[in-house]
Structure 1
Amino acid sequence: MQSDIDPRSLIGRKAFDRDGTKIGTVDEVYLDDATGEPEWAAVRTGLFGRDAFVPLAPSRVEGDALNVPFERALIRNAPDLGVGGHISPEQELQLYRHYGLPLPGPAPDAPGSGEAPGSSGSAA
């Protein structure tokens, strides 16, 4: 995702899958604990639906939309983590595996290089 986007500006945007089908509306944005960069968005998938977490790194903001490069069915079947809190390292691993994304690793010279992946955290 573009790094110059204010995470708060994503809230309320419509989200679309890779085919241009509407998924829902961005409810919350979760920042990486270590970098403070936006990493995940919780997208409300329907009037009585739940929030599905989508990765922001491969997603693009275009106009007033968030375009997520995955199929709607995959997004809707993402692990149900609830919203409003903190994404634990274990929950983040679930999301990376669900989307088939490579696990993030710390920079080679970063302190704590041996820590387990999973540094997402608080909602913005």
Structure 2
Amino acid sequence: MQTDIDPRSLIGRKAFDRNGTKIGTIDEVYLDDATGVPEWAAVRTGLFSRDAFVPLEPSELVGDALRVPFERSLIRDAPDFGVGRHLSPEQELQLYHHYGLDVTLPSEFHHPPADPDEPRDFGRLAGD
């Protein structure tokens, strides 16, 4: 995903799965504490349902919507940690495992901490 986008501008956008099926609307964006890069979005999956956390990398913006490259069922089954709170490193690791994403290989969006033994801390909300 583009890193030059203001993460607050993602809030309120619609999110779709890999097949183009609507997942819901983005409620919150969570930033990497070390880099400030947007890492996760909490997507409200329905009026009375919960928020599902989705990874922003490898998701992409297509027009005004976020395209998440996973099946809707996998997204809806993601661990629910509630929104408006900081994600702990353990919760963030659970999300990476849920989506089958590799947390050991850095990408342009995933920078390792200065000390490789130090746990990464994610979850600052956009605007915090």
Shorter-chain-normalised TM-score: which range? Answer: over 0.9
Query: Could you give the per-residue CA deviations for residues 60-83 of structure 1, whole angstroms, max 9, x where no partner exists?
Result: 011110000000000000001100
Gaps of 5+ in 1: none
Deviation digits for residues 65-119 of structure 1 (CA, Å, limit 9, x no counterpart)? 0000000000000001100010000000100000000014554xx5222123x42
What is the distance in 2 between the residues matched to 1:119 and 1:59? 21
Summarize deviations over 1:19-69 as a string: whole Å, max 9, x none.
000000000000000000000000000010100000001000111100000
Name the count of aligned residue pairs. Answer: 121
SS in 1 for 2:93: helix
Aligned to 1:103: 103
Structure 1 SS opposite 2:91? helix
Distance 1:111 1:76 in 2: 34
TM-score w.r.t. length of structure 2: 0.90
Out of 112, 118, 121, which is 1:119 matched to?
Answer: 121
SS in 2 for 1:94: helix
- SS of the residue 1:100 aligns to: coil
2:75 aligned residue: 75
- Classify the secondary structure of the residue corresponding to 2:8: helix
In the alignment, the residues of structure 2 paired with residue 111 and residue 11 of structure 1 have an alpha-carbon distance, to the nearest angstrom, of 31
How many Å separate the matches in 2 of 1:112 and 1:121?
Answer: 19
Kindly report the root-mean-square deviation, in angstroms, between the aligned alpha carbons of the 2 structures.
Answer: 1.2
Flag as ranges the 4+ runs of structure 1 deviating above 6 A.
none
- Structure 2: gaps spanning 5 or more residues: none
- Provide TM-score, normalisation by structure 1: 0.93
Letter in 2 for 1:41: A
Structure 2 partner of 1:2: 2
